[in-house]
Amino acid sequence: MKMMGKRVNFAARSVISPDPNIEPSEIGVPLDIASNLFYPEVATPFNIEWLRSLVERGNEYPGAAEVHISKSDGSKNILGLAKMSQADRNTWAKQLLTDLKSGKPPWTVFRHLMDGDPLLVNRQPTLHKPGIMAHTAKVLRKEKTIRLHYVNCNTYNADFDGDEMNLHAPQDRLKVSRPRKDMS
């Protein structure tokens, strides 16, 4: 017998619970999961101040976990913010603005999952096309399980007796726009 399986980055799995207080298009994400799923934001003049504040916060939610600094030769330096001191994070946050103004290649900040971020959600086994759908995240600070509106139960063939669901966080703009168009 042959079996296949592999590790996946930028994904989470947890038990589901009902929540009539979220919209059917939303999925309730516990804070523990939201602070371990990351979304890449490329630094632009429009979001630079916000990204600087996330870099300064580091791993404290809502913050950022990593910064990828693109070099002109195409390579990248990766800064892990989790174990970095506050003074070092402040220095790198200032450098982010300096590099953007000087015309150097843009940085990518891997920030925590936040309200409104797109997620692909499925419950195994995914046997038909609606078995995986796009939802927007709603971070729930006091919950420990993934929260699902009752309306979506039939589509996923889900109930609340211990079923688990998977969350997948898309990692680039194209992968974010496609689910919103095709899977909503």
Q: Helix H segments across 20-166? A: 31-34, 48-57, 86-101, 153-156
- The whole domain housing 61 covers 38-112
Boundary of a domain, candidates 112, 139, 163: 112
Boundary of a domain, candidates 94, 112, 130: 112
Q: Which amino acid is it at 157? A: N
Indicate if 49 and 103 belong to the same structural domain: yes
Residue 30 lies in a domain: yes
Distance CA 157, CA 127 (A): 10
Task: Give the three-state DSSP class for 89.
Answer: helix
Its pTM surpasses 0.75:
yes
CATH of the domain at 132: 2.40.40.20
Distance CA 66, CA 63 (A): 10
Confidence band for 179, pLDDT divided at 50, 70 and 90: low
What pLDDT, in 10s, does the model give residues 39-76?
998 888 888 889 999 999 988 889 999 888 877 777 78
CA 123 to chain centre: 18
Indicate if 76 and 53 belong to the same structural domain: yes
What is the count of structural domains for the chain? 2
Are 129 and 49 contacting, i.e. CB atoms less than 8 angstroms apart? no
